[in-house]
Amino acid sequence: MGYNGRTMSVAAPQIEVNISVVVRPATPADYDAAMRLFRYTMGENFTLLPALWDEVCNAPNYRTLVGDDAEGVTIALAVVVVSDRIRLAAGLRRRRFHMDELIVAPDYRSHGIGHQMLEHIRSLAAAEAPSYIIANCDFMNVAARRVYEDAGLHLTPQGSDRFEIAFS
C-alpha cells in the first residue's frame, strides 16, 4: 500500500457523509474563521497573527484549505506544508506533504468532514506527486486517528504518546 507516482494505491473505505463541504484554498479573508477553528483546539487565548495567516495562505510551500458548509460557513481547516528533502548521498530529492493542521468545528465532527478534507488533500497529492504524506497525531486522540486510518494512512510510533500517520 502506498503512494505510487501519480495515483494512490490505497483504496479508502466508504465513509458515510452526512454533511458535504466545499473545499477551497484559504485566503487572508478567512482569518476570522481560522481564528475560531484554531481556538477550538488551541484554547480561547490562542492568537493567530494576521500577517502569519496571510503568509500561510500565500506561501508557495503551503496548501491551506478551508471547508465551507452549504450556507458558506467555514467549518473545517487544513494546513499542509510542502517540502523537498534532499538526500545528497543518494542524489535524490523527495517531496513531502506534511498535514500540519486538520481541524473540524466540534458541532460538525463525526459527519465525514475530516474525511472530505483528506480526500481533497489526496487529490492535491495526486497532482503534485509527493513521495509521501504524513500527519502527526496524539495517540490519545482516537477520533483523529480513526479519520486518518479510514483514509488509508498507516500509524508509525514516534514516541510513547505520538504517532506519525503516513501514506508511504
Number of domains in the chain: 1
Residue 32 maps to a domain: no
As beta bridge partners, residue 70 has none
Residue 36 maps to a domain: no
Distance separating alpha carbons of residues 116 and 160, to the nearest angstrom:
29
pLDDT tens digits in sequence order for the chain, 168 residues long: 333 333 333 344 444 558 889 999 999 999 999 999 999 989 999 999 999 999 999 999 999 999 999 999 999 999 999 888 766 676 777 778 888 899 999 999 889 899 899 889 888 888 887 777 777 777 777 787 788 777 777 666 666 555 555 554
**Pick from 108, 82, 104: nearest CA to 95:** 82
**What is the span of the domain harbouring residue 99?**
66-167
Distance separating alpha carbons of residues 46 and 82, to the nearest angstrom:
25
Helix (H, G, I), strand (E, B) or coil at 6: coil
Helix (H, G, I), strand (E, B) or coil at 106: helix
Residue 104 maps to a domain: yes
Residue 137 maps to a domain: yes
Residue 156 maps to a domain: yes
Residues 6 or more apart whose Cβ sits within 8 Å of residue 45: none
CATH of residue 88's domain is 3.40.630.30
Residue 55 maps to a domain: no
Residue carrying C-alpha cell 503551503: 62
Confirm if 123 and 63 have CB atoms less than 8 A apart: no
Residue 59 maps to a domain: no
Residue 86 maps to a domain: yes
DSSP letters for 26-46: --GGGHHHHHHHHHHHH-TT-
Q: pTM for the whole thing?
A: 0.77
